[in-house]
Amino acid sequence: MPKEVFDKNYAYLPQTSLLSFEEIMQLASIFAANGVQKIRLTGGEPLLRKNIEVLIEMLAQLRTLEGKQLDLTLTTNGSLLKKKAQSLVNAGLQRVTVSLDGLDDAVFKRMNDVDFPVQDVLDGIAAAKAAGLGIHSPIKVNMVVKRGTNDDQILPMARHFKGSGVVLRFIEYMDVGSTNGWDMTEVMPSKDVVARIHAQMPLVQLDPTVLGETAERWGYADANGQHDKHAGEIGVISSVTQAFCADCNRARLSTEGKLYLCLFATQGHDLRGLLRGGSSDQAISAAIQDIWQGRRDNYSELRASGFAPKTINIKRVEMSYIGG
Task: Tell me the mean pLDDT in the region 251-269.
Answer: 88
Residue type, 40: R
- Give the dihedral of Cα atoms 247, 66, 71, 256; nearest 10 deg: 80
> Domain range spanning residue 317?
15-322
CATH number at residue 239: 3.20.20.70
5 found inside a domain: no
Q: How many domains are there within the chain? A: 1
For residue range 132-160, list pLDDT tens digits in order: 999 889 999 999 999 999 999 999 999 99
Phi, psi (degrees; rounded to nearest 5) at 13: -65, 140
Q: Where are the beta strands (DSSP E) in the chain?
A: 38-41, 71-76, 95-99, 140-145, 167-172, 203-205, 216-220, 233-237, 252-253, 258-260, 269-270
2 found inside a domain: no
For residue range 47-75, list pLDDT tens digits in order: 999 999 999 999 999 999 999 999 999 99
What pLDDT score was predicted for residue 312? 43
10 found inside a domain: no
Mean of per-residue pLDDT scores for the chain: 88
> SS in 3 state form for 195-233?
HHHHHHCCEEECCCCCCCCCCEEEEEECCCCCECCCCCE
Using pLDDT thresholds of 50, 70 and 90, give the confidence band for residue 16. confident
Phi-psi region of 102 (alpha: psi -120 to 50; beta: other; left: phi over 0): left
309 found inside a domain: yes
What pLDDT score was predicted for residue 249? 84
103 found inside a domain: yes
3 found inside a domain: no
Task: Quote the pTM value.
Answer: 0.87
What pLDDT score was predicted for residue 241? 77
The residues that bridge with 97 in the sheet, in sequence order, are 75, 140
Burial degree of 200 (CB within 10 A; 0-12, 13-18, 19+):
exposed
Using pLDDT thresholds of 50, 70 and 90, give the confidence band for residue 115. confident
| CB neighbourhood size of 183 (10 A) | 12
Contact yes or no for 45/76 (Cβ under 8 A): yes
* Residue scoring higher pLDDT (208 or 62): 62
8 found inside a domain: no
222 found inside a domain: yes
